[in-house]
Amino acid sequence: MKRPAALVLVLFAMPAAARAADRIYSYEPASDAARALAETGLSFEFKRTLLGGARVLRVIQTGDRGAAAVRPASESELGAGGLKAALGPEPPSGDLYAIRPDQEDGQAFIGAVCPGAEHAWLLIGKLERFEDLAVQAVGRDKGAAGARLCASLAFSYRNDWTLPPRAPPRVRFSTGRPGG
């Protein structure tokens, strides 16, 4: 049997919950910029993809209250020049996520990670167990043609866990009879 076919068989043999379980990796700040943003560290809630990658869902302030939902973003959202204009000659490494200002503490997180920006994105390095993490925050100010680098953040791996499956909401249907 060829390797691709074996991989497909293994993936389909795994329970769906094991393939797509929500996980959290927690990190301690390892740079001055990361300590200024989150003294107690950040945690990243994500789903593993079928090919071993990760799709980040939320960024959570580890020791305090606060979380921001994120969504995968396209480099074109950054405006003129994209990541190259914001980061300069440094080649981008990681996946780009937009911070959602309309959910949870997204607007406050944008203000903390990129003061003055109307929109902000995170270029999140590869989430790997026991590995440190690099995150770059870029933002676009109101009226600006393109994004700017706000912060380069370094984090040291601390901990991880798998979240229990989320139960679907219970729906109670009325029987049309009194009391039910």
Check residue 110 and give its pLDDT.
Answer: 94
Check residue 17 and give its pLDDT.
Answer: 42
**Cα dist from 53 to 19, 46, 87, 127, whole Å:** 11, 10, 23, 8
Check residue 163 and give its pLDDT.
Answer: 66
> What stretches in the chain show pLDDT beneath 70?
1-21, 163-180
The DSSP 8-state label assigned to residue 41 in this structure reads -
Task: Decide: 120 and 110 in contact? Cβ < 8 Å.
Answer: yes
Residue 15 burial (CB count, 10 A): 8
- Among 38, 88, 28, 92, which residue's Cα sits nearest to residue 67? 38
Report the amino acid identity of residue 74.
S
Check residue 44 and give its pLDDT.
Answer: 92
Q: Whole-model pTM above 0.85?
A: no
- Among 75, 81, 80, which residue's Cα sits nearest to residue 95? 75
Check residue 27 and give its pLDDT.
Answer: 92
Check residue 7 and give its pLDDT.
Answer: 40
